[in-house]
Structure 1
Amino acid sequence: MAVQISPSILSADFARLAEAAAAVPNADWLHVDVMDNHFVPNLTLGLPVVESLLRATSTPLDCHLMIEDPDRWAPAYAEAGAGSVTIHAEASKAPVRTLRQIRAAGARSGFALNPATPVEPYEDLLGEIDMLLLMTVEPGFGGQKFLDVVLPKIRRARALIDKHGGQVWLQVDGGVSDQTIERCAEAGADVFVAGNAVYGAEDPARAVDALRARAEKA
C-alpha cells in the first residue's frame, strides 16, 4: 500500500479552515475529527462545518466520528460528500449495517479502535471496512503523546489484514510525528493522521512531505 498522509484540522485554526486546507495541497486527505462531548470529553465540529469545508477544498475529507450515536449520523457525512467516514467500535451498536450504509452512500467505510480495544474480535468485520483506524492516543484531544503500547496491535492488525487479502488500509491517529511515524510504518500502518506535526510547523506542506518521506523510508 502507498503511504498516505491525512493532516488533522483539529490542530488548525478553526476560524481559518479553508486556509488550513489550502496550506496542504500535497495531502492525500484532510482528517476531520467530529467530537460530541459525550463519547469523548471534547466538542469540535459537525456536519454543517463539514459541508462548508467540502465546498472550500478538493482534497477528500476523512471524517472520524468520535460521537455517541454514529449509527444515526454516519450516513449523512457520506451523503454530504466525505470521502471516508469512520465510526468507533466502542460506540456503534449496529456496525455492519452502518458500515454498509456508509459504502452505499459512496464513501469509504472506516472502523476505529481505542488503544485498549483489541483488534482480534473484529476480524470478521474486515470484509465490511475499507480502513481500520487504530488510535495511538486516548481519543478526545490533539497534541497528546504517542502510546508505544499500541505498536504490537498495529503489527497484529497488519497480519490480520494481510491474511484476508490486504485490501484494507491501516490508519494510525494520535501523536504521529517525525519521531514516531517510522515506527508506525514499520509496524504496518500505511495511512497516517498528523495534527500538530503538520499545522504546528512553519510550512505545513513541507511537513507533509517530510512525514511521507520518513514513512516511505521505513
Structure 2
Amino acid sequence: MIIPGIFEDNQEGVLKLLTMLAGVAKVVQLDIADGLFVPRKTFTDLGFLSGHNPQTTIQLHLMVQKPEAYSMFLPKEITDVCAHAESFIYRPLCLGEYYDLLKSKGKRRGICFNPDTGFEEFAQVIKQCDYVQLMSVYPGDQGKAFLASTLTKVRGFKKSFPDTPIQLDGGIALDNVQTAVEVGANSLVVGSRIAKSPDPVKAYTEFVLKFDHARRDFYTSSQPNLHH
C-alpha cells in the first residue's frame, strides 16, 4: 500500500491535503512533532479532524517524547497510532501500558524505529503490534534521501518477525519502490513527493501504479517454475 505522508505545521495545510486525497487514498499518515523529539514542531490539537471525510482514514505518526499525552483523546477518524520506540527507551515499563491504552480505544498499533535503533529488545511489544514502521531517513522533516542501510534492516526484521507487516517511511521515490517491495516492505509512506507535488492526486496515482507493478513482479518471480 502507498500511504501519503502529511507533515504540516498548521491545520489548514493538513485539511487542504486531506480534501485533495479524500476518496483517492484509503489511508494517509499524519505526522505530529513536539519540537523535542525532533526539532520541528507541528500543531498538537487533533480535534479538528472530527467529521473528516470517512473515505480516507488517518494513521498518526507521533514524533514526540511522550506519545501517551497525545493519545488520550483521539477522534474516531484516527484508526491507528504509530509511536517511536525511542520515546520509551528510558521508561520501558510505560511502553506496554501505552499499547494497552491504544488497544482499549480500539486503535491499531504500530511501533516505529529510527535508522540506528535495533528492534531485538522490543520483541515482546512488536508481537502486540499490528505493524512496524522502519524509518528510512532520520526523522524530523520531509525531502531527505533514502538510507540504503534500511534495506538490510528490513531483511533482518522480516527474518525475525515474518508475520508482522513492515511499513517504510522516508525518502521513498519512484526509483526505489521496486527495491523496497523486493526486500519485504508491505507499505510505503510517501511524503514530499506526493504532498509537495503540483498535483498530489496524480503523484499518488503514479506511486500506486509503481507499487502494484512491483508487487506483481515480486509475486511472479517468487512462484516455482512449473515448466521444469
TM (normalized to structure 2)? 0.83
CA-CA distance at 1:12 after TM superposition = 9.1
- Number of residue pairs the alignment of both structures matches: 208
CA separation in 2, counterparts of 1:216 and 1:120? 31
Q: Secondary structure at the match of 1:44?
A: coil
Comparing 188-197 and 23-32, the one that deviates more: 23-32
Change (3 A) 1:159 1:54: farther
1:67-117 CA deviation, whole Å, 9 max, x = no partner? 01113333433x654111111111123211111211210110110000000
The one of 51, 59, 68 equivalent to 2:47 is 51
1:41 and 2:43 are equivalent in the alignment? no
1:169 and 2:159 are equivalent in the alignment? no
Partner of 2:14: 17
Give the residue type in structure 2 aligned to 1:34: I
Gaps of 5+ in 1: none
Q: RMSD in angstroms over aligned alpha carbons?
A: 1.9
- Greater relative contact order (Cα < 8 A, sep 6+): 1
Change (3 A) 1:5 1:33: same
Contact 2:24 2:201 (8 Å CA) reproduced: yes
CA separation in 1, counterparts of 2:71 and 2:105? 10
Give the residue type in structure 2 aligned to 1:45: F
Partner of 2:5: 8
Change (3 A) 1:54 1:170: farther
Comparing 16-25 and 111-120, the one that deviates more: 16-25
Partner of 1:71: 68
Structure exhibiting the larger radius of gyration computed from Cα positions: 2
Q: Secondary structure at the match of 1:103?
A: helix
TM (normalized to structure 1)? 0.87
1:26 and 2:24 are equivalent in the alignment? yes
CA separation in 1, counterparts of 2:149 and 2:72? 32
Comparing 195-204 and 8-17, the one that deviates more: 8-17
Contact 2:132 2:165 (8 Å CA) reproduced: yes
Change (3 A) 1:72 1:52: closer
Gaps of 5+ in 2: 215-228
Change (3 A) 1:161 1:206: farther
Q: Secondary structure at the match of 2:189?
A: strand
Q: Percent identity?
A: 25
